[in-house]
Amino acid sequence: MIADQIRFLGRLVARPSQVGAVAPSSPGLARAIAAQIDPSGNSPILELGPGTGVVTAALIARGIAPKRIVSIEYDPDFAKLVAQRFPAVRVVRGDAYDLKGTLGEDAFAPFGAIVSSLPLLNEAPERRNKLIETAFELIAPGAPFVQFSYGVQSPIQPSPTVSVTRAALVLFNLPPARVWVYRRK
């Protein structure tokens, strides 16, 4: 959508460290991310940084019930947009790098998966590592933490207890992106 591209560019200009791309994720990238999530089951799915909701829509198209999705969005305008587009999704306005503080007492753990569209390469490695460590405290054993990145290497160097695989390379995204799946061994 042209309107979403304009919204996205506006956020990029206003808050460049919080927006990691020049355009929203492509539908192809969103599908590649959603493909890593098993739609069966009843566990909630945590989405970090939904932006305009492209990945949210792909998760729903994959068969994940909207009421199972909990989305954390830092930008108040994007949070409002996602809540309007997907009224059954629980949208939490807050900081994904403070997962426990943002989710509060009602953390919904364990999550069946976490998908992240956060611009991790804009953050220090220590902050990225803390994010994934906290994420693994909130997800079920064996559940995936799915992250996309524009970098050639994994944006998080996993500890010896975590495996990472490149699940997809999406060339038709601006810029081309890779989908990484992390799991606790």
* pLDDT for residue 3 is more than 80: no
Q: How does strand 162-170 pair with strand 177-184?
A: antiparallel
pLDDT, mean over the chain: 89
Q: Are the C-beta atoms of 128 and 149 separated by less than 8 Å?
A: no
Crossing angle, helix 2-14 and helix 76-85, to 10 degrees? 160
Q: Residue 137: phi, psi to the nearest 5?
A: -75, -20
Instruction: Note the pLDDT of residue 105.
Output: 74
* pLDDT for residue 75 is more than 60: yes
Encode pLDDT of 89-115 as tens digits.
999 999 999 999 999 876 677 999 999
Instruction: Note the pLDDT of residue 174.
Output: 80
Termini Cα distance of the chain = 40
Structural domains in the chain, CATH included, are 26-184 (3.40.50.150)
Q: Are the C-beta atoms of 167 and 143 separated by less than 8 Å?
A: no
Instruction: Note the pLDDT of residue 88.
Output: 98
Instruction: Note the pLDDT of residue 23.
Output: 54
Kindly state the percentage of the chain with pLDDT values over 70: 85
Band of pLDDT at residue 21, cut at 50, 70 and 90:
low
Band of pLDDT at residue 1, cut at 50, 70 and 90:
low
Arithmetic mean of pLDDT, 31-44:
95
pTM confidence score: 0.88
**What is the rounded CA–CA span in Å between residue 121 and residue 118?**
9
* pLDDT for residue 11 is more than 60: no
**What is the rounded CA–CA span in Å between residue 84 and residue 101?**
24
Q: Are the C-beta atoms of 161 and 16 separated by less than 8 Å?
A: no
Q: What is the per-residue DSSP string for the chain?
A: -HHHHHHHHHHHHH-TTT--SSSPPPHHHHHHHHTTS---SS--EEEE--TTTHHHHHHHHTT--GGGEEEEESSHHHHHHHHHH-TTSEEEES-GGGHHHHHTT---PSBSEEEE---GGGS-HHHHHHHHHHHHHHB-TT--EEEEESSSS-SS---TTEEEEEEEEESSSSS-EEEEEEEE-
* pLDDT for residue 81 is more than 80: yes
Encode pLDDT of 117-147 as tens digits.
999 998 999 999 999 999 999 999 999 999 9
* pLDDT for residue 18 is more than 70: no
